[in-house]
Amino acid sequence: MDRETFYIGAATAGHQVEGNNTNSDIWAMEQMKYGGYPEKSLDAADHYNRYKEDITLLKSAGLNAYRFSFEWARIEPKEGEFDEKEMQHYLDMVHFCKENDIEPIITLHHFASPKWLIEKGGWESEYVIEAFKRYTKYIAQNLSGEGIKYICTLNEANMGNLISIYIRQAKEQYEKQEGEKATLQIGLNLEEMKKEEEAKEKENIEVFGTPFPAVFVSPRSPKGNKIIMETHKAAVEILHEMLPDTKVGLTLSLRDVQAIPGGEEKAALDWHDEFEEFLPAIIDDDFVGVQNYTRAVFGENGELPPEDGAELTQMGYEFYPEGLPNVIRRVHASFKGEILVTENGIATDDDTRRVEFIRRAFDGVKACLEDGIPVKAYMYWSLLDNFEWQSGYTMRFGLIGFDRKTQERTVKESLAFLGNVNRIETNTL
């Protein structure tokens, strides 16, 4: 590997680790009865105030890059009004990384949006394209001269499709189960379900001014996907013009999609929804961020559950680190720009399994490099245990744990292991 261009580090997202992202849509939903969040992010890991401590731990372990997000809702808390103090906070983070020879890899949007954006139609309205251009221009003005190498515009631009896939699968399973039970019962409690839907829509109108807030992590319509891709392309154009030395791309959540005999067609459809639909929007980008956690195996009736006895992670994913090199190879077959592994990790309380996962995933990355695939970074998800969205604080992905009362950090063996991976790779270049 060419040492100058390979980064080994860890990733976070502002809303999940900073705490008190109070002007965001997700913060608002966390306070709602029907918002879908079982617990509130609150102070999270207080990374907003403790980022120096956390980046120092990353550095001391031997890592050389840190991927983190700017929170749009902090920087532009009111439409068209930018908060220079918050912009300075993120510039301070960039400077602290640089002072410590840590490469900052920046994400402009990581799932949370300003609440005002959702009130204006959110990610299903063309308005977001203009709003994101204005935000991107402001960021680019402030990053001028900072020597940023990589900017991700949108984290997991395909998440809306993935959520639609999950909802469709859940409905199919529900109908299948109800189909079996329906012969025994007379109908479902449709009345109850209808009342809850009405209450949810009423609460949405009170909070967002619309019964169906189009947040980034909503099921996305085909129109919404087009808007997401237009938003990304507009941001790429701005960043290329204003920050010509910065490489720009987006990240995609990509499962290693496999088929057993008879499942080929459904697997191909899924890979289209997860990846191929977005290829036209990224084909000329400098890089694509690949985010892989497991595989998805399809049979003739759709996605299959993990095999009996398969090792599962806290997320319920099959423990399958080989998914990462498989996805890198598949992406590279269609996308000839650089590939950054912007997320790869495991939710577990057994850190020995996290070490094994990283070892096998990184061995796969090395094999891809040896085959000439231009992988430029491996960013483990996540630097810190964090607020895993609608799973709350129940999923531990971090290389570093923390006590939610005292905020005291606990460094796990896996952080040192990943740091050694970096050292070993350095020595064998």
Contact set with ligand GCO (CB under 6 A): 13, 16, 155-156, 253, 291, 343, 381, 388, 397
- Residue 272 exposed, middle or buried by CB count within 10 Å (0-12, 13-18, 19+): middle
Q: How far is the CB of 315 from ligand GCO (least distance, A)?
A: 6
Q: How far is the CB of 16 from ligand GCO (least distance, A)?
A: 6
**Closer residue to ligand GCO in complex, CB, 142/218:** 218
Q: How far is the CB of 109 from ligand GCO (least distance, A)?
A: 11
Q: How far is the CB of 13 from ligand GCO (least distance, A)?
A: 5
Number of H helices, E strands in the chain: 15, 14
**Closer residue to ligand GCO in complex, CB, 140/347:** 347
**Closer residue to ligand GCO in complex, CB, 242/315:** 315
**Closer residue to ligand GCO in complex, CB, 287/381:** 381
Q: How far is the CB of 343 from ligand GCO (least distance, A)?
A: 5
Which amino acid makes up residue 202? K
**Closer residue to ligand GCO in complex, CB, 16/422:** 16
**Closer residue to ligand GCO in complex, CB, 13/267:** 13
Q: How far apart are CA 224 and CA 123, in angstroms?
A: 6
DSSP string, 202-271: HHHHHHHSSSS---TTS---HHHHHHHHHHHHHHHHHHHHH-TTSEEE-EEE--EEEE-TT-HHHHHHHH
Burial call 224-242: b when 16+ CB within 10 Å, e when fewer: bbebbbebbbbbbebbbee
337: number of Cβ within 10 Å? 18
**Closer residue to ligand GCO in complex, CB, 320/381:** 381
For residue 382, whether the previous peptide bond is cis, meaning omega lies within 30 degrees of 0, is yes
Q: Please, which residues have CB within 8 angstroms of residue 357's CB and are 6 or more apart in sequence?
A: 319, 321, 345, 346
Q: How far is the CB of 341 from ligand GCO (least distance, A)?
A: 12
DSSP label of 35: S
Q: How far apart are CA 321 and CA 345, in angstroms?
A: 9
Q: How far is the CB of 106 from ligand GCO (least distance, A)?
A: 14
Q: Which two tokens stand for residue 243?
A: 């920050």
Q: Are 47 and 35 in contact (CB under 8 A)?
A: no
Q: Are 178 and 188 in contact (CB under 8 A)?
A: yes
257: number of Cβ within 10 Å? 25
Q: Which two tokens stand for residue 94?
A: 């960039």
Give how far the C-alpha of residue 195 lies from the chain's centroid of Cα atoms, to the nearest Å: 33
Q: How far apart are CA 409 and CA 428, in angstroms?
A: 32
**Closer residue to ligand GCO in complex, CB, 106/238:** 106
Q: How far is the CB of 386 from ligand GCO (least distance, A)?
A: 7
Q: How far is the CB of 268 from ligand GCO (least distance, A)?
A: 23
Q: How far is the CB of 179 from ligand GCO (least distance, A)?
A: 31
Q: Of 123, 155, 329, 374, which Cα lies nearest the Cα of 249?
A: 155
Q: How far apart are CA 40 and CA 47, in angstroms?
A: 16
**Closer residue to ligand GCO in complex, CB, 314/407:** 314
**Closer residue to ligand GCO in complex, CB, 346/365:** 346
Q: Say which residue the tokens 């609608």 belong to.
A: 390
* Angle CA 24–112–35, to nearest 5: 70
